[in-house]
Amino acid sequence: MKYPKWVPAGVAQKVEAIVEEWRRSEEHMRIRLAEIGISANIRRGRRPHSVQSACKRMQDRLQAHINNIRDDIACIERLTRSHDDGRDRDRQELYGRWLSGLDDRKVFMFLLAACEAAHNHTRIRLRLKEARLLRQEIIKAARELSRQIRILESLDVGMPKELVSTRALLRIAVPSHPDDVDAWETLRPQILGDEPDSIVKVCDELDSSVEVRSAWDSAPDLADLLEAAAMAAEDYIPALPLHSRQKGEKTDAIRVFAGILTRIFKFDLTDRIKHAMAVAATIAINRPDIVVTYDNVRKALNDRQPRPGKVAPEK
């Protein structure tokens, strides 16, 4: 595929090679994704729920990898091809001024670092979007399940005690994390008041097992807990972690970019590289409300580094 004249031929060859490699990886993952889907459909209803859930998680991971590859391809093409986004002059300046003097291998590594920084930025925004959608689903699902339990209870035809009693439900619940199983199994009888009356005594007069059982009798039931979960979800506002909100999306992207350049690719962050970072980050992130300037880069990196004459605190 043809590249603009301002992209060095050696860089274009390296970009073409890695894009081809990414496309082969994507195709391999798509085939595997289809195989898992076919297997799950054929065996649906004949496999344990845990196996079906594992298949779904594997499909989700593969799809996420496919999406990441597509994002990387789109990013590196934005940095090396002409686009109708009004930034071709910036692209020409990137190669003709700020990256000139670097060999093709270094320029290629610089482009990979820019895409990874943009990828990290995109991943944060996608996580926020997904969290907002899940919040609504949790509220809806919790309230609907609570309503259905109440209706079943009102029919007076009998129902599993685990759908009414939180204590009964906890007796059969198993922690999802294997490391928690032993501790829970050990403490559960005491927490639920299931220890024999002769074993658990707080004082001569007070039988803690009886007290615990009495407390559980008046505890919120499952439907109450579901309603509480829905209320908690309503109060929940998905947001960036505190450190990200304080620094800003732009600053985080710059520092990821700089970290990849210095720690992985062993770049020196000269003024020319900082100018190149500003141009490349703006193109790679590809959002009209995000424009990275040289001053943004300089300030983000200066805030991270000790001032001249100062000693960085030990970690």
Position 223, amino acid: A
Classify residue 73 by burial, with Cβ atoms within 10 Å: 0-12, 13-18, 19+: middle
Of residues 45 and 283, the one with the higher pLDDT is: 283
- Greatest Cα-to-Cα distance within the chain, rounded to the nearest angstrom: 91
305 pLDDT higher than 90 = no
Q: Return d(Cα 279, Cα 294) in angstroms, integer.
A: 8
Q: Return d(Cα 164, Cα 171) in angstroms, integer.
A: 13
pLDDT number for residue 12: 94
Q: What is the pLDDT of residues 192-228, one digit of tens each?
A: 888 765 444 444 444 566 777 777 777 888 888 888 8
Query: Which of the listed residues 38, 60, 81 is the one where a domain comes to its end?
Result: 81
Structural domain includes residue 104: no
Structural domain includes residue 116: no
Contacts of 223 (CB under 8 A, 6+ apart): 145, 146, 149, 150, 153
Query: Which of the listed residues 24, 56, 81 is the one where a domain comes to its end?
Result: 81
240 pLDDT higher than 70 = no
| Helix/strand/coil percentages in the chain, nearest 5 | 70, 0, 30
Q: Can you give the residue range of the structural domain that contains 208? A: 165-218
CB distance 147 to 227 below 8 Å: no
Structural domain includes residue 192: yes
Structural domain includes residue 4: yes
301 pLDDT higher than 70 = yes
pLDDT number for residue 205: 43
pLDDT number for residue 80: 94
Question: Is the whole-model pTM more than 0.85?
Answer: no
Count of domains forming the chain: 2
pLDDT number for residue 214: 75
When pLDDT is cut at 50, 70 and 90, the band that residue 266 belongs to is very high
Q: Return d(Cα 98, Cα 93) in angstroms, integer.
A: 7
Structural domain includes residue 96: no
Report the pLDDT averaged over residues 249-266. 89
